[in-house]
Amino acid sequence: MKCPVDNVDLTMTDRQGIEIDYCPDCRGVWLDRGELDKII
C-alpha cells in the first residue's frame, strides 16, 4: 500500500498484536477498522 500524501510504500509494524502501517517519510499512521479502539 502506498501513502496517499507522498506515494511512498507504507511500512508495517506490530504493536501489542495490532498491525500499524506508517509512512517512513511523512510519519503518517494508517489503521484498519477497529484498530484505534484496541490501542486506546
Where do the structural domains in the chain lie, given as residue ranges?
A: 1-40
pLDDT tens for each residue of 7-35: 999 999 998 899 999 999 999 999 999 99
**Confidence tier at 40 by pLDDT (50, 70, 90):** confident
In whole angstroms, what is the distance from residue 7 CA to residue 23 CA? 9
Compute how many other C-beta atoms are within 10 angstroms of the C-beta atom of residue 22: 16
0.85 exceeded by the pTM? no
**8 within 8 A of 25, measured Cβ to Cβ:** yes
